[in-house]
Amino acid sequence: MAAGDFFEQLPAELLLIWHTLRIPLLLSAAALIAVARYVRHRSTAIKIVKIESPTEEKKIELRPEWLPENTTLLPGQQIATSLSKSSKPKKVPKIVRGQKKSPTRAQQKTAPVFNHTTDKIQPLVFFQSLSGTTERYASQLAKTLNDWIADAKPGASILEPQVHDISYIEYDDYFVSPPKSEDGTIKYFYLILLPSYNIDTVLQNFLDNLQETHNDFRIDTAPLSGLLGYSVFGFGDKEGWPTEEEGFCSQAREVDKWMARLTGRKRAYPLGMGDVKGDADARLEEWRTGVQEALLEIAAGRGLGEGVPGSGDAVESDEEDLDSAEGSDVEPVPNKPQKPKKNTQRVDDLEDLGRMMNSTSTSPASSTSSPIPIDFTTYTSTPSKPTTSTLPLKEMVPTSSPTHKALTKQGYTIIGSHSGVKICRWTKSALRGRGSCYKYSFYGIQSHLCMEATPSLSCSNKCVFCWRHGTNPVGTTWRWVTDPPEMIFDGITAAHYRKIKTMKGVPGVRAERFAEAMRIRHCALSLVGEPIFYPHINALINLMHSQRISTFLVCNAQHPAQLQSLVPVTQLYVSIDASDKESLRKIDRPLHRDFWDRFIACLDILRQRRFEQRTVFRLTLVKGFNMADEVRGYADLVQRALPGFVEVKGVTFCGTSTAGSAGLTMANVPFYEEVAEFVRQLAAELGRRGLPYGIAAEHAHSCCVLLADGERFKRNGRWATRIDYERFFDLYEGKVQGSRMQGGKVVGWRPEDYIGDETPEWALWENGGFDPRDVRVWRKGKGPKAVKEQGEAENERDKAVAVEI
Ligand SMILES: Cc1cc2nc3c(=O)[nH]c(=O)nc-3n(C[C@H](O)[C@H](O)[C@H](O)COP(=O)(O)O)c2cc1C
Ligand code: SF4
């Protein structure tokens, strides 16, 4: 064949070969591609699981003067000599449930006198039912209560419950004045179970009757105040009435309010609500347990406890001030011009402004007593000589001090002589279903399960935005009597539970949340002061973890030695209040002369420890102090420490004289839009540097935005900033193995090992961050509608921040 013929025939030949062999050829190619992809995927998977902890080349030198003084112990040893004698450490930590104190004088005045040695409690179970459901629940409840009374034998002072159908009683016998026993020794406690119907039924009669009785000028407005207490439980149907706004359990809620007024605030336990097609049994069970506790309290002669007396205000509304429970507690709204108040006004979201300030000259810290030995014992350098001073150690906040008085007045409970606990406004808000703090949006912490505490009320900075009024101890060394960690743990948990219990009569508190709140799940170690100043902080953190309480610890970047030897916490924060030395001096007003070196050392330590725990930068923006032209400086710091997260928050105005003297006014409080713009610029700057940060989430209500490392905290391309707390404890307890490797061996866990759910849609950037399941509450004449009418706000998110309470 000629060469030309050959080439002419070639395409035909090739075509023939292709037709004959195409199927095996295609199959082999597909198999090859599949094998190649599998190998690639496997190597990635291995890379994810068996990550070696990147070790930093740079060694962080801890200067001798940064070490806690007089360290004389070997690593791991605990000191005993400086512990206060008053409390012996117990071997097994336990959660302590609060004990109620005797009723206050005000309560004694309104409560019917119950002599627990002679009187009896008669529980009356009232119900109304159209189709039988509530009736069944009512008789079942009466039976269970009766069994409990028989089993628990609560002093034989609780009688067998009686059940009454509201449709068949004379209202006058029970709801105009309480029944009276012949000899007057039987006192009554009402349990009211009701369905809801949005049509005209006999239920409406009952409601009208309550209302009329209250409004009848011939009758005392609180004619049922002779009752020992009452509690209401509602049944509804979430299929037809999914939310309270849409009418879920609407009539039970009404009855609860009217009963509060008629009894003169005798709500003994929060209103319970159950969905008959869902959780009714569980909710009722929870509510019953709470009611039983209330009955026991009364039987023991303690009345309704030390809580607020209830909700009997003639005008009960969403504006009812919670603060009656424990002093004023309202956070000034950012950007809303406010009249300067007296010294009582302060920053409420204290955990992020957790510093303390004062002039050294007036504080107990300036006393001449010597520093005590302290158990940060993991340092390699030689400890300095133990002090020979025999001067008695002082208490940081003695009971008789003005500081103690001031803090107590502000709602703090001081534990021992240097620790404090306070129930924050978000905890109260969450108990009432009105939303949690930004830590819920970002990390899944429900505020009613969270305790805010500090083991050290003292600090080494004097930040301009600190709420404290110049009466607190400051100092650069720990020089006080030291309470043991067990005592602090027992004290703060007991005080927290006590404070939660004070909320039980507050209108709107949800029974199921109240019950859940009696088991602390999280601790924000950040209230005020500097938690890592406390010499036994590691032991305290371990106690919390052993009780499956997660820990978020905020420190002020002034104690590198303590930071380095801190045990891993669930999330470790460093406050970054400025981007350069001069600005930091101006805003934090640190006591340490080498504050900048300490600060930088802390950043380097954070960088080193970023594969052991979740690390966070907390930026608090103060206009005129640390915002303008500082984006690049902050980006430098992020680049240096590579935290997992950067939380940026606008400062809240504390209006104290101290803040005033530091030149801080409302003009220094940034608008949310300004904070958001700052975050956009910071994200852009980090992006320009090739750093993988992105804006993950926001909580406009508290003027807070979250940036996160997109390479570490995303799953399937979506932000996953929440935490799997159970997994964290499993890792801590060694139930599951972590994936932090060194030298081919597992040496612990990594933050990636306990990443939780994806960040919910509503919390993502530009979605506002308010959980749609919670109820938004607006002050009268405020809210989007009112604002629109007034033509005030330009931006929907600004409005939310400006007027929401
Ligand atoms: C006509 C009608 C109206 C209702 N309206 C409401 C309502 O407004 N809110 C609610 O939560 N449930 C509502 N429900 C659900 C009932 O409250 C629920 O089914 C309840 O269990 C009935 O209790 P009972 O069997 O004791 O009457 C309604 C049910 C019906 C039939
Ligand atoms: S973290 Fe806890 S203590 Fe802090 S604001 Fe939120 S709920 Fe309150």
Calculate how far, in angstroms, residue 228's C-alpha sits from the geometric centre of ligand 1. 30
- Do 735 and 765 lie in one domain? The reply is no
Evaluate if residue 74 carries a pLDDT over 50: no
- Mutation test residue for ligand 1: of 140, 166, 167, 196, the one with most atoms within 8 Å of CB: 196
Least confident of 45-59, 334-348, 580-594, 688-702: 334-348
Q: Is residue 314 domain-resident?
A: no
Least confident of 420-434, 454-468, 624-638: 454-468
Q: Is residue 14 domain-resident?
A: no
Task: Name the band, by pLDDT with cuts 50, 70 and 90, for residue 221.
Answer: confident
Highest mean pLDDT: which range of 471-475, 639-643, 701-705:
639-643
For helices 796-803 and 672-688, the axis angle rounded to 10 degrees is 120
Q: Among candidates 751, 800, 770, which has minimal Cα distance to 616?
A: 751
Higher-scoring residue by pLDDT: 794, 465: 465
Model confidence pLDDT, tens digit, residues 468-519: 545 566 777 788 899 999 999 999 999 999 999 988 888 889 999 999 999 9
Higher-scoring residue by pLDDT: 435, 112: 435
Domain count, the chain: 3
What's the confidence (pLDDT) of residue 375?
Answer: 36
Evaluate if residue 333 carries a pLDDT over 90: no
* Helix, strand, or coil (residue 526): coil
- Do 658 and 560 lie in one domain? The reply is yes
Least confident of 125-139, 399-413, 766-780: 766-780
What's the confidence (pLDDT) of residue 476?
Answer: 75
Least confident of 172-176, 431-435, 655-659, 758-762: 655-659
Evaluate if residue 365 carries a pLDDT over 80: no
How many angstroms separate the CA atoms of 456 and 421, rounded?
11
Calculate how far, in angstroms, residue 424's C-alpha sits from the geometric centre of ligand 2. 6
Q: Which domain CATH number covers 709?
A: 3.20.20.70
Evaluate if residue 26 carries a pLDDT over 50: yes
Mean pLDDT over residues 345-365, rounded? 30
Model confidence pLDDT, tens digit, residues 373-398: 333 323 333 333 334 445 578 888 88
- Do 296 and 352 lie in one domain? The reply is no
Evaluate if residue 286 carries a pLDDT over 50: yes
For ligand 2, whether the C-beta of 549 sits within 6 Å is no
- Do 177 and 252 lie in one domain? The reply is yes
* Helix, strand, or coil (residue 474): strand
- Do 197 and 250 lie in one domain? The reply is yes
**Contact call for residues 553 and 605 (beta carbons, < 8 A):** no
Higher-scoring residue by pLDDT: 567, 167: 567
What's the confidence (pLDDT) of residue 110?
Answer: 45
Least confident of 3-7, 25-29, 526-530: 3-7
Q: Among candidates 547, 584, 618, 96, which has minimal Cα distance to 350?
A: 618
Calculate how far, in angstroms, residue 776's C-alpha sits from the geometric centre of ligand 1. 25
What's the confidence (pLDDT) of residue 323?
Answer: 32
- Mutation test residue for ligand 2: of 424, 431, 496, the one with most atoms within 8 Å of CB: 424
Q: Tabulate helix, strand, coil % of the chain (nearest 5).
A: 40, 15, 50
Calculate how far, in angstroms, residue 236's C-alpha sits from the geometric centre of ligand 1. 5
What's the confidence (pLDDT) of residue 519?
Answer: 96
Evaluate if residue 57 carries a pLDDT over 90: no
What's the confidence (pLDDT) of residue 56?
Answer: 53
What lines the ligand 1 site, CB under 6 Å? 129-134, 195-199, 235-237, 240-241, 247-250, 276
Whole-prediction pTM: 0.62
Least confident of 301-305, 715-719, 729-733: 301-305
Calculate how far, in angstroms, residue 294's C-alpha sits from the geometric centre of ligand 1. 29
Calculate how far, in angstroms, residue 723's C-alpha sits from the geometric centre of ligand 2. 15
Q: Is residue 46 domain-resident?
A: no
Higher-scoring residue by pLDDT: 1, 476: 476
- Do 572 and 705 lie in one domain? The reply is yes
Calculate how far, in angstroms, residue 233's C-alpha sits from the geometric centre of ligand 1. 14
The DSSP result for 662-711, as a single string, is TT--GGGSPPHHHHHHHHHHHHHHHHHTT--EEEEEEEGGGTEEEEEETT
- Do 401 and 255 lie in one domain? The reply is no
Q: Among candidates 173, 269, 275, which has minimal Cα distance to 234?
A: 275
CA 86 to chain centre: 31
CA of 448, closest atom in ligand 2: 7
Least confident of 29-43, 231-245, 327-341, 594-608: 327-341
**Contact call for residues 722 and 755 (beta carbons, < 8 A):** yes
End-to-end, the C-alpha distance of the chain in Å comes to 95
DSSP strands (E only) in 110-251: 120-127, 162-165, 186-194, 229-236
Evaluate if residue 601 carries a pLDDT over 90: yes
Q: Is residue 438 domain-resident?
A: yes
- Do 280 and 334 lie in one domain? The reply is no
**Contact call for residues 312 and 264 (beta carbons, < 8 A):** yes
Q: Which amino acid is at 624?
A: G
Mean pLDDT over residues 262-280, rounded? 94
Model confidence pLDDT, tens digit, residues 238-261: 999 999 989 999 999 999 999 999
Residue nearest to atom 2 of ligand 2 (CA): 450
Ligand number with the minimum distance to the CA of 527: 2
Evaluate if residue 619 carries a pLDDT over 50: yes
Task: Name the band, by pLDDT with cuts 50, 70 and 90, for residue 643.
Answer: very high
CA of 552, closest atom in ligand 2: 1
Residue 459 is classified by DSSP as B
- Mutation test residue for ligand 2: of 445, 450, 526, 649, the one with most atoms within 8 Å of CB: 450
Q: Could you give the ipTM of this predicted complex?
A: 0.86
Instruction: Work out the percent of the chain whose per-residue pLDDT is above 90.
Output: 46
Least confident of 342-351, 468-477, 482-491, 555-564: 342-351
- Do 335 and 362 lie in one domain? The reply is yes
What's the confidence (pLDDT) of residue 665?
Answer: 75
Q: Is residue 282 domain-resident?
A: yes
Least confident of 34-38, 474-478, 636-640: 34-38
Task: Name the band, by pLDDT with cuts 50, 70 and 90, for residue 5.
Answer: low
The residues, any chain, with a CB within 8 Å of residue 309's CB and separated by 6 or more, are 106, 107, 110, 264, 265, 266, 505
What's the confidence (pLDDT) of residue 379?
Answer: 32
What's the confidence (pLDDT) of residue 321?
Answer: 31
Q: Is residue 22 domain-resident?
A: no
How many angstroms separate the CA atoms of 510 and 135, rounded?
23
Least confident of 57-61, 139-143, 486-490, 706-710: 57-61
> Exposure of 716 by Cβ count < 10 A (0-12 exposed, 13-18 middle, 19+ buried)?
exposed
Average pLDDT taken over every residue of the chain: 77
What's the confidence (pLDDT) of residue 673?
Answer: 94
Task: Name the band, by pLDDT with cuts 50, 70 and 90, for residue 7.
Answer: low
**Contact call for residues 111 and 304 (beta carbons, < 8 A):** yes
Task: Name the band, by pLDDT with cuts 50, 70 and 90, for residue 109.
Answer: very low
How many angstroms separate the CA atoms of 262 and 177, rounded?
9
- State which residues form the domain around 743: 727-754
Q: Which domain CATH number covers 113?
A: 3.40.50.360
- Do 691 and 740 lie in one domain? The reply is no
Helix or strand (DSSP H, E) at 251 = helix 250-263
Evaluate if residue 353 carries a pLDDT over 60: no
- Do 717 and 735 lie in one domain? The reply is no
Q: Is residue 156 domain-resident?
A: yes
For ligand 2, whether the C-beta of 351 sits within 6 Å is yes
**Contact call for residues 430 and 447 (beta carbons, < 8 A):** yes
Residue 275 is classified by DSSP as E
Ligand number with the minimum distance to the CA of 131: 1
What's the confidence (pLDDT) of residue 786?
Answer: 43
Higher-scoring residue by pLDDT: 391, 47: 391
Q: Is residue 19 domain-resident?
A: no
Calculate how far, in angstroms, residue 201's C-alpha sits from the geometric centre of ligand 1. 11
The DSSP result for 374-412, as a single string, is -------SPPPPPP---PPPBPSS-TTSHHHHHHHHTT-
Ligand number with the minimum distance to the CA of 329: 2
- Do 545 and 568 lie in one domain? The reply is yes
